[in-house]
């Protein structure tokens, strides 16, 4: 359906921050997924690969804290990467098992980082470099406010 720009149609969502954040998140995640598809990874898998590559020996709990995710929700992704031969689980118990990339995972890690870098350049091309820290700080604050609720 096309909306005639001269019509009296009113969009009450257009002034809502949450609407634009949801819309932006969907667009950004979709674009990242397209960039990762040639690597055979989805954004969640690639994010884990990137985090583990940057933090060899980290645990599932470490990753959960970094992503503000439930540790149990990471189990299927971690298991998939392990079964794919991209990461190995060290000796430990429960969520304290150290995770490291295999040689195959390390090789893919470099390609994942390049895909993330290209994605960041694409989505940030209209934001002047000197404003990026401010934009990220505002997004972090919005996330914190959403997570913590009203005072």
| pTM of the entire predicted model | 0.84
Contact 49, 108 (CB under 8 A): yes
Which 3-state string (H, E, C) describes 29-97? HHHHHHHHHHHCCCHHHHHHHHHHHHCCCECHHHHHHHHCCCHHHHHHHHHHHHHCCCEEECCCCHHHC
Structural domain boundaries of the chain? 38-124
For the chain, report the end-to-end CA distance as a whole number of angstroms.
Answer: 42
Note down pLDDT in tens along the chain; length 151 residues: 566 667 788 899 999 999 999 999 999 999 999 999 999 999 999 999 999 999 999 999 999 999 988 888 899 999 999 999 999 999 887 768 899 999 999 999 999 999 999 999 999 999 999 999 999 999 999 998 998 766 5
Task: Look at the domain 38-124 and name its fold.
Answer: Arc Repressor Mutant, subunit A (1.10.10)
The pLDDT value recorded for residue 93 is 78
Phi/psi at 105 (nearest 5 deg)? -65, -40
HSE value, Cβ hemisphere, 13 Å, CA-based, for 35? 23
């Amino acid at each position: 359906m096309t909306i005639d720009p001269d019509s009296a149609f009113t969009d009450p969502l257009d002034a809502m921050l949450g609407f634009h954040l949801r819309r932006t998140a969907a667009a950004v995640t979709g674009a990242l997924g397209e960039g990762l598809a040639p690597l055979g990874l989805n954004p969640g898998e690639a994010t884990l690969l990137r985090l583990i590559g940057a933090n060899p020996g980290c645990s599932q709990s470490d990753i959960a804290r970094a992503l503000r995710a439930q540790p149990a929700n990471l189990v299927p992704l971690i298991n998939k990467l392990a079964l794919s031969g991209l990461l190995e689980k060290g000796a430990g118990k429960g969520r304290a098992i150290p995770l490291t990339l295999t040689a195959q995972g390390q090789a893919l890690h470099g390609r994942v980082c390049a895909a993330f870098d290209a994605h960041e350049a694409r989505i940030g091309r209209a934001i002047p470099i000197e404003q990026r820290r401010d934009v990220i700080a505002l997004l972090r604050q919005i996330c914190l406010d959403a997570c913590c609720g009203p005072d």
